[in-house]
């Protein structure tokens, strides 16, 4: 769906498919959409997706980094939640990667207890995989500001390539197809229309009075319901532990 199609859909609803002779201006509709997108990218999970980046170690030797200890990430990045140094060394000090992905996959294929219900062995395997993270990736202290898009490295300088795990914005046209986004825009449009019509008192042809407060209240109630449903969907179902 394009932005024009979204505005047309919202206009069709608040005017009852053209039955009512008033709607919000297109400029106001664009303002509502722009502000709603900023809200959804921060507060709505499906509005972002996981994106991975690898920063080569040479970047941390540049004068630009040493001056501010920060890197400029793409504008699409909303938040950064993992910054790890890629080590990939062997557990015995050898050059081969004892904990490489290939060996982990092999252990899943050949060591899994498919023929039995050995819960103890399965628990031991998962503990082993958790342990490998200490040998493959090493966490780096960081701070990220989504307004400046700057990733600041806290503490020591990374000595190896750095792996980033981020949440990035999805395409705008994909967000336009989301039902929650459509209802959010429609509710905001009703509130805006009620505010416009309530500024001055006037009647439609035939002496019909415009109920501006009713339109505004309807939008306010719908907006509250949409935000509540989004909050219900965003409730956490996991625990984050660190040591």
pLDDT in tens, 143-202: 999 999 999 998 788 888 999 999 999 999 999 999 999 999 999 999 999 888 887 666
Rounded to an integer, the average pLDDT of 90-106 is 49
HSE (CB half, 13 Å, CA atoms) of 188?
20
Of 130 and 236, which is predicted with more confidence? 130
HSE (CB half, 13 Å, CA atoms) of 74?
13
Identify the pLDDT of residue 28. Answer: 94
Domain boundaries, the chain: 3-46+172-233, 57-160
Q: Which of 65-69, 76-80, 131-135 has the highest mean pLDDT?
A: 76-80
Question: CB neighbours of 127 closer than 8 A, spacing ≥ 6?
Answer: none
Radius of gyration of the CA atoms of the chain, in A: 26
Phi and psi torsions of 208, nearest 5°: -75, 130
Predicted model pTM: 0.72
Closest CA to 77 of 102, 50, 103: 50
Identify the pLDDT of residue 149. Answer: 94
Is residue 233 predicted with pLDDT exceeding 50? Answer: yes
Identify the pLDDT of residue 196. Answer: 85
Rounded to an integer, the average pLDDT of 75-84 is 92
């Amino acid at each position: 769906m394009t932005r024009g199609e979204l505005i047309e859909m919202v206009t069709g609803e608040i005017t009852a498919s053209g039955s009512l002779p008033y709607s919000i201006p297109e400029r106001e509709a664009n303002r509502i959409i722009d502000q709603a997108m900023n809200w959804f990218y921060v507060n709505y999970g499906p509005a972002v997706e996981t994106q991975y980046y690898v920063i080569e170690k040479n970047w941390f030797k540049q004068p630009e980094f040493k001056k501010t200890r920060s890197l400029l990430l793409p504008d699409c990045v909303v938040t950064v939640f993992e910054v790890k140094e890629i080590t990939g060394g062997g557990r015995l000090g050898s050059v081969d990667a004892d904990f490489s992905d290939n060996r982990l996959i092999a252990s899943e294929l050949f060591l899994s207890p498919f023929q039995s219900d050995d819960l103890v062995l399965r628990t031991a395997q998962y503990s082993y995989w958790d342990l490998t993270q200490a040998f493959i990736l090493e966490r780096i202290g960081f701070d990220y500001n989504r307004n400046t898009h700057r990733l600041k490295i806290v503490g020591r300088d990374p000595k190896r390539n750095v792996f980033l795990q981020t949440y990035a914005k999805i395409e705008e046209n994909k967000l336009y197809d989301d039902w929650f986004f459509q209802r959010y825009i429609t509710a905001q449009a009703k509130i805006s229309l009620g505010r416009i019509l309530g500024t001055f008192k006037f009647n439609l042809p035939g002496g019909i009075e415009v109920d501006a407060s009713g339109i505004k209240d309807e939008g306010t109630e719908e907006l509250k319901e949409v935000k509540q449903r989004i909050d219900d969907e965003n409730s956490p179902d996991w625990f984050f532990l660190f040591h």
